Amino acid sequence: MRILFLSSEVAPFSKTGGLGDVSGALPWALSERGHDVRVMTPLHRGVPRATLQLVGSPLTLEFPFGKIDLRLFRAPAPGELLFIDAPALFDRDEYYGYPDDARRFAAFSMAALAFTQRDGFVPDVVQGNDWPTGIAMLALRTGFAHTPLGRARRVFTIHNLAYQGLFPAKEMEALGLPWDLFTPGGVEFYEQLSFMKAGLVFADLLTTVSPTYAREIQTPAFGAGLDGLLRHRADSLHGILNGVDVKEWNPATDVFLPRQFTSTELAGRTLCRKELIASCRIDAPVPGMPLFGVIGRMAAQKGADLLHVALPKLLEQGASAIVLGAGEPAVQDAWLSLAAKYPRRLSVRIGFDNSLAHRIEAGSDFFLMPSRFEPCGLSQMYSLLYGAVPVVHGVGGLKDTVFDLTHANANGIVFEQPTAEALFGALVRAVELFRDEAAYAAVQRRGMTADFSWAAAAAEYERLFGLPSPRPSPPRGEGGTG
């Protein structure tokens, strides 16, 4: 199959979270299975340009809001990775969060399709990922419908339904979208333009990144206002668990670690723990108390508020913790003030630091991930493979990958309610497990020997791409949720 894969971030070149990791691995797992895969992504500031090669001549796209000059660049490796260069739109400090995001990502989607058409690549499948690529799904079904590209199967993958790309209705005109699409059955979401809906409504097949999240987003509690539409499209919606890029995340080969280790040779892990504690300038936990690790975007989603209540009690008993993340200022500030209260026990690093992320996975005794919702979650899978026993809220992909001590195949600790009390209970159980060395080692080993390779996930995508798609019936015109 010829597959065109569109994403607003692709690791290791650009990444704010799991979307970047997936986009840097799934396409290459598909090409290893023999498919002809092209990945297209914006050329953000910070992507190293020295080795990029210009592909063909520049292109200009005209939108009602203005003209955009574009160039296409090819990266030398690992596969056919193409960067769309539009300095006016993408040469910026951040990837998202600008007033002209609708124009930036609509232009990205349209440019990707236009360059693909120009180069004569005729995909069998176009896979879009999250709201920044929603307009590509719409365009394939409208403006490109009668071109070779219009025959491609449209697959839209939800990595996080909470980020929807909502814009003022007047952007319809700026982008040149016909007003007859601005309905609850189209791209309208409570009087705003929704890029996420453009993907959900106009794709043939929908996927998301874990089986549990695929079910959850069809309920009001997790549907972020789109559960009605997702129930309507339930026959086309599939949950496929993400894999782990084991070239990047493997403790036996990890270049960021002071010493590598495996599930049967853990001496290196002890050294990683020591080095981590020393480099973060905190005290080691008192005997019998563990070192906790936390990595993640500092957003309400990740449940930091629960940690802020539950963790201090453990710190007071002599546990230590290392936290890495960046994001919402209120969450960052709350972490920093907690660290100021426990300077010897808690280290908080604000920022994006891939090396430290690897070293936290390799050195912590437990990895804490009390997310209120979690589409898949990659960090808990890295934790399993690195022997940092995960403590998670049993939701979304966390539920699909971490199994509580009460299960025969236990690899971590799972709590059911997103409350500080339930998290505290889980932390107490973690300490009990930690004090039973044999039991802790057994749980740790089970996680370290799990198989999360992308090959299995890629095979599932491949099967799905080949399935006849249930064509969506005409959307209903009820309410704002479509």
Where does this chain bind ligand ADP (CB under 6 A)? 17-18, 21, 295-297, 324-326, 352-354, 357, 376-379
In sequence order, which ranges of 226-348 are alpha helices (DSSP H)? Answer: 227-232, 267-279, 304-316, 329-341
State how beta strands 80-85 and 66-74 pair.
antiparallel
**Smallest separation, CB 277 to ligand ADP (Å):** 19
**Smallest separation, CB 209 to ligand ADP (Å):** 8
**Smallest separation, CB 347 to ligand ADP (Å):** 13
**Smallest separation, CB 17 to ligand ADP (Å):** 3
Whole-number Å distance between alpha carbons of 26 and 20: 10
- Give the single-character DSSP code of 164: -
**Smallest separation, CB 479 to ligand ADP (Å):** 29
Query: Helix or strand or coil: residue 36?
Result: strand
Q: Which residue type, as a one-letter code, is found at position 422?
A: A
Instruction: Give the nearer residue to ligand ADP in terms of CB position, either 88 or 326.
Output: 326
**Smallest separation, CB 350 to ligand ADP (Å):** 8
**Smallest separation, CB 348 to ligand ADP (Å):** 11
Whole-number Å distance between alpha carbons of 423 and 413: 10
Q: Which of 100, 96, 84, 2 is nearest to 42 (CA)?
A: 84
| Cα distance between the two ends of the chain | 33
Instruction: Give the nearer residue to ligand ADP in terms of CB position, either 152 or 376.
Output: 376
Q: Is 141 exposed, middle or buried (0-12, 13-18, 19+ CB in 10 A)?
A: middle
Residues 6+ apart with CB under 8 A from 265: none
Residues 6+ apart with CB under 8 A from 438: none
Instruction: Give the nearer residue to ligand ADP in terms of CB position, either 320 or 379.
Output: 379
Cβ atoms 141, 113 nearer than 8 A: no
Instruction: Give the nearer residue to ligand ADP in terms of CB position, either 157 or 481.
Output: 157
Cβ atoms 465, 1 nearer than 8 A: yes
**Smallest separation, CB 300 to ligand ADP (Å):** 12
With vertex at residue 359, the alpha carbon angle to CA 355 and CA 365, rounded to the nearest 5 degrees, is 155
Instruction: Give the nearer residue to ligand ADP in terms of CB position, either 62 or 94.
Output: 94
Instruction: Give the nearer residue to ligand ADP in terms of CB position, either 177 or 392.
Output: 392
Residue 302 forms beta bridges with which residues?
none
Instruction: Give the nearer residue to ligand ADP in terms of CB position, either 92 or 297.
Output: 297
Q: Which two tokens stand for residue 314?
A: 């453990």
**Smallest separation, CB 32 to ligand ADP (Å):** 21
Instruction: Give the nearer residue to ligand ADP in terms of CB position, either 181 or 360.
Output: 360
State how beta strands 66-74 and 59-63 pair.
antiparallel
Instruction: Give the nearer residue to ligand ADP in terms of CB position, either 326 or 459.
Output: 326
Query: Helix or strand or coil: residue 393?
Result: strand
**Smallest separation, CB 317 to ligand ADP (Å):** 27
Instruction: Give the nearer residue to ligand ADP in terms of CB position, either 17 or 27.
Output: 17
Q: Which two tokens stand for residue 72?
A: 């296409």
- Give the single-character DSSP code of 149: G
Question: How many residues can be counted in the chain?
Answer: 482
Whole-number Å distance between alpha carbons of 466 and 461: 9
